[in-house]
Each structure stands twice: as C-alpha cells, then as structure tokens.
Chain A
Amino acid sequence: MANESATGVELDRNWLDNLSDEELVDNFLARSTKDRRDAHLCFEVIIGRYHWLISHVVRNSRYRFPAWDSADDVISRVIFKVYRGLAQWRRQGKLSSFIARIASSEMIDTIRRVGRDKSWNPRQSPADPDSDEPSPVERAASKEPSPEAQLVARERHEIVDRLLEDVCRDWKDTVIVNEYITGNKSGKEIAEKYNMSEDLVYQRARRLKVRLMNWLSERGITSAESLLTSTVAK
C-alpha cells in the first residue's frame, strides 16, 4: 500500500509489485508530471517485469549488430522509448505486446540506419580479411542500365505492385507471396519464420491463387506480356 508522507503519498516497492500493469502505468503517468522520483520508481518496476522480454527480442533477433552499436545500446534506447511512449499504450492490448513492438521497431530502425553503409550486410557474419572471396566493391555491377531501361523496369514494377496491393489483404498474405509464391521457400520454413502454422500457409496460398485468377480474368489478362505491357492494370 502507498504510505502517507509529508509530501503526499510515498510509494512502497511491495505495493507497486502487487499492482496490475494498468494500475502501474496509471501511477507512473500520474506521478510523472508531479514527482519524477516516484515516476522513476514505477518505471523501474515496469522494466523489472519486462526487461527479460526486451533483452530476448533484441538479442535473439535475426539481425546482427555492427561493432559500433551493441545490443546493450539498442536495449537502452528501447527502455528510453518505452518511458517516452507509455502514455500511448492502448489498454486493449497487452503491455508485453506494446513493449515488444517498440523493441522490434528499434531493431529495425537500427538496421536501416546502419544499412546505409552498403558494405555492411545485417544478415551475414563479418567478412574475413584473409578471404579470397571478391569484396563488395569487386562484386559491384560494372554499369547501370540505361535511363530508358530503368523507366521500363520501374513501370513494370509498379504494375506488379498494384496487382499485389489488390490481392494481399494483410501481412500474412504478403509474406506468403514474397517467400512462397514468388520466392522459393517451403511452407515449413515460412511457418517457422513468421510464427504461423504450415496449414495456414497453404490455405492462404490457395486463396491467393483464386484472387489472382479472378484479378486477371476480370481484366482479361491471359499472359505475363499482356499484364506488363498493357494499361489495364493501371
């Protein structure tokens, strides 16, 4: 229970430990504008509950970190963003989900930032300096396609994007198209990677095929050429 003190209500750690997440966050928000010391104590209890989750999401990620940005740095930024964002937590979702979302977004943000360094690949282990493999610079394409070819490629890409916008209904559809239909991954690999059942992958693939068939038939498209060169998809 909170104890009365000369300055108002003094927080007791045991009392905080017994609060629900909602009550704890309410206490944190209420005190954050009045008494930061108390707000910090509430926040310590929140992080005490979810520190393992943050650490797990960051350290078990598929991505690897560059030397200058360690997992500890990312965890610190996640904790700061949880502090800053707690007022935005919608109570219909679990606090664990809200915190995992912040941790995943921070991971992605970090990877995108460091990804601007083209010689760094987040999905590969560090390059061996003694390796005989050609370097990224040596592997780089010798010349770019002409502006006309780029324009044609971009237009074709936009047509395919439009088709995909129409047939994909949610993120599960999109990864099944990406990894199974146009990629070459098995249903089992996709199920493991995206945390869904293998049956769901095939069920969704069947539905996507029907939607794709209807989309093409409604526009009278019978070949890849008619899709990529005509304006019916536009």
Chain B
Amino acid sequence: MNKVITINLGGTAYQLEEGGYDALRAYLETATARLQGNPDRDEIISDIERAIAEKFRALLGSYKTVVVTKEVAAVLAELGPIEADEGKAAEADAKGAGAPSGASGPKTEGEERAAWSSGPRRRLYRIHEGAMLSGVCNGIAAYVNLDPTIVRLGFVLLTMVWGTGVLLYLVMAVVVPEAHSPEEKAAAFGAPSTAQEFIRRAKQGYYEAMKGFPDRKARREWKRQFKREMRGWGTSFEREMRANADQWRRNWHGYWAEHAPVHPGVGFALPFLSLLHGALKILFICALVVLLTTGTVFGLALPANVPVWVAALLLFIAYGILVGPLKAARHACYWGGGRPGWAWPFVFLLDAVVWLAVVAALLWLALHYFPELREAVRTVPSLAHQAAADIRAWCKGK
C-alpha cells in the first residue's frame, strides 16, 4: 500500500505514488536550475510537463488510475536530462567562477552559510577552458581562488628549485581528472574550501570580540596588541621550527660522518640513493595530488572528521621522515671523507649520468605511452609565445 499524491500537469490531474512524485519534483527542480538565465525557461518547463502528461496518459486506462513510482522513473529516463545549449552552459560556468569573489559582498550571512552547506564540495580538477597546456594551473587557480597567471608563475618559480615545478606539473597532468560534466565543473569552483571557511570564522570571532570594547581608544589598543601578539607568535613558531630542523640535520650529518662505512665502493651507492630519493618524491607528489582530488590516501578513505589539509600535513611529515635519512646518507656519501681525493669526480659523474639516463628513460616512456603528452610537446613553442604575451599583458594590467 502506497500513498498517492495528485498533481496537475498541463491542466489534467494525475495521481502518482509518493516516491514517483518526489522523483518528478526533483527532476523538474533540476531542470529549472539548469535553465537558469535561459530566456525560454518557463516555456521549456511547460513543454516538458506536457510531454510528461502525455506519457502518463498513455500508461493509464479505465482500471489503472495511478502512475506507480517505477513508471515515473521510466518516463523521466526516457525524457533524458535537460541540456541547454553549450554557449549558455559555459556562460553560466564563467559566472559561477566569478561569483565567489564578486558576489560575496551583498550576500547575507545566512545565504552564505546556506551556499556553504548545500553547494558541491570543492574538488581539484583540470579545467580545459582557457587552459594553456592541460588545465592543471587553471584547476588549481579555481581550487584556491587565484588568478591562473599567478599559479603559472608559481610553477615557473618552482621549476627553478631542482625542476620540481615540471615534475609536479607532469604528475598532476596525468593524475588529476579533467572536469567534463557541468557537475564536475561546479565542483571545481565549488563551495569555499575548509581553510577559507576557517579564516572566515576566525575573523568573525575577532570582530565579535571587538564589539565588546565600548571605548574607541581601548578598542584600538586591543587591536594593536592582538596583531602584535599574532605576529610575535608566528615569528617565534617559525624560528623554533627552523632551529629544530637545523638541529636534526646536524645530528644526522654528524652521525653519518662518524659512522659511514669507509669503503671506496660506497660512492657507487650514491646514484641509487639519489634515485630512491627521486622516486619517493614522485610518490609523495602523486599521493598528495590524489588526496586533494579524491580525498583518499593510497585508496584509503579519510575518517569523516579529519579534514583534507590535516591529512596533507601528515603526508608531508611522513615524507620528511622517510626522506631525512636518505638525504643524510647522500650527504655522507659526498662528504664522508676517508676516500682518496682522485675518486670524487668519478663518483659525481656517475651520479649525474645515472640521473640523466633515468630521466631520459622516463621521458621516453611518457612520450611513448601518453599521446596527449606528445601532442602537448608539439604545441610547446606556440604556447611559450602565448604565455610570454599573457604575462606581459598581466603585468601591464596590474
């Protein structure tokens, strides 16, 4: 026995089972939302309603007066999702992209909170529209709410640190999924990230406290002190971290310098230590990117109450712990002492040659197995020109 709900479609009453009614209402609501901004919205909706009515009519007879849930679902599947034309969708996307920064002003607190809780969760995607290579920078820019040009510059700067930028880019181009459907595009811009929400709340608390001071002078004094404290806390924390790191590094290096096996052959281990280090770095970047895109670490979902940034931090610490001894070992290979001086150039040469060989092999494999990459390499010269022009235009714009 199921409850029946009577509805009016195009001037005729139809009786639907409750589940069917819910499905129909959800379908029409989605349709209305997708046609947002379309000048023909009302007409299209009434066309769709009439089409549904006609299909229901065909299902009913003198002994069958109720449309059951399964039939409603079948009719809706037959209709298919409402698809407005491409241009409109892209326009809406662009509007969505601008909204977080532009429209947040006039929004009231309640609306903003509603948008926060109901909006799609933000995910890292590659965004192809307006991309230069594969949309990685574009996607990151949407994820952290920045100008894509800044993200691109960041990658260029990172490249100067032992090529990390290029490595990171290639890994992300392969691992990060591209936003295809409108839902994915929405999620790429999505609800504000946890960090932003956190800052918003912190600020709110700050202003709440401000209200407590009746006198303007006292308020200003409190404000100044608050800022000074925050700054002082930040610097001391940073200094402490740096001192700790230095201490650790010194301990390791001292240990290895004393205990490294003094054997002429140890130099040959250097390239392999370097390789292991490189492999760990790639693994770490992959894991980090996967964590940001899917919220899982090596296929394991995070516990519900652990935010993504905490997981990222833990991952980073784990990487540091793994890599620390390796770094120290390499250091010991370089500076361990106790070997005849003439052998060193050969050890360094071996290290460099093995590295180059592995990088070349990886590049060859990548070019061989990813046709997209080959395509990208072919477009590099024109893209470089465009990038230069863009950066110039951006500098002028500022």
Chains A and B are bound partners: no
Interface residues in chain A, defined as those with a beta carbon under 8 Å from any beta carbon in chain B: none
Interface residues in chain B, defined as those with a beta carbon under 8 Å from any beta carbon in chain A: none
